[in-house]
Amino acid sequence: MSLSKLLALLVCASFALGAVSRAAEMDVKATKTPEEIAKEKKRRATLAAAGIDPDRKPAAPPAAPAAPAKPGAAPAVASATGLQSYTFNVTGMMCNNCEQSVTTSFKKSEGVSNVAAVTAAGTAVVTYDPAKTSIEKLLEEFKVNKMARFTAMKAGEKPAYVYSGKDETLMGGMSIKGKDAAADVVARINAHREGEPAERYINLLATGELATKIEEIRKSGVRRVKIVGVVSDAGVKVNSIEPQ
């Protein structure tokens, strides 16, 4: 290309850039205050001096990462590692030792990396590898691995047995309450309720004179007792107790 043609091209490009710049300035003047116009001119001049097109649109910011799910907030939660967490309902837990038993039972299954059992919530959040196991398989293996008094169910499910709200008679072995038990829990009884699959620990709920009587019986060395009371998720509200 000859020098004259190159100069001609440069002149044309200069006129074109000038026209674009003037058009941009006219657009700015039509919509902005004098202070904003001055600020915009300064911005464009700074960008031009740095070799950056003042009319180039900025790139969109990267999307914010998703907030991590709270343990137990959803039945199944996937993680970046490919593991999943599922919140099972578990009945029969009364203390920290129960939580440890449930944790140990779930961890016997292949693919389970973590278990968080919570007595107060009646749940166990199990983190597992879906390539090695499944929710159904975990439930089946829990029935084999667990201590008999615990029952694990899918989220939303409830045990087959019901609480009638009427007095029931329970007979079993009495023990002291757990350190983390509620104030109205006097002791616990390991008993088999009609309709339930096996024996389990149930809190004895009592206050006043009845609570004192239960404590006296326990301290006397008597362990087998007959309890009459109304059973619920929290335990049995004792109406009467007799040593056996």
CATH number of domain containing 199: 2.40.50
d(CA 68, CA 168): 45
Q: Is the alpha carbon torsion for 70, 74, 80, 81 positive or negative?
A: positive
The boundaries of the domain holding residue 91 are 76-153
Whole-angstrom distance, CA of residue 1 vs CA of residue 5: 7
**Per-residue model confidence as pLDDT tens digits over 64-77:** 444 444 444 445 66
Give tens-digit pLDDT for 20-44.
455 555 554 556 677 777 778 877 7
Q: Do 127 and 183 fall within a single domain?
A: no
Q: How far is CA 126 from CA 12, 54, 62, 103, in A?
A: 70, 54, 33, 9
Q: What is the pTM of this model?
A: 0.52
Percent of residues, the chain, with pLDDT higher than 70: 73
70, part of any domain: no
Tell whether 71 is covered by a domain.
no
For the chain, what is the domain count? 3
User: Is the same domain home to 213 and 236?
Assistant: yes
pLDDT tens-digit map of 189-230: 989 888 787 788 888 999 999 999 999 998 898 889 999 999
The enclosing domain of 149 has a CATH number of 3.30.70.100
Helix (H, G, I), strand (E, B) or coil at 81: coil
Question: Do 166 and 236 contact (CB within 8 A), yes or no?
Answer: no
What is d(CA 198, CA 147) in angstroms, rounded to the nearest whole number? 10
| Amino acid at position 4, single letter | S
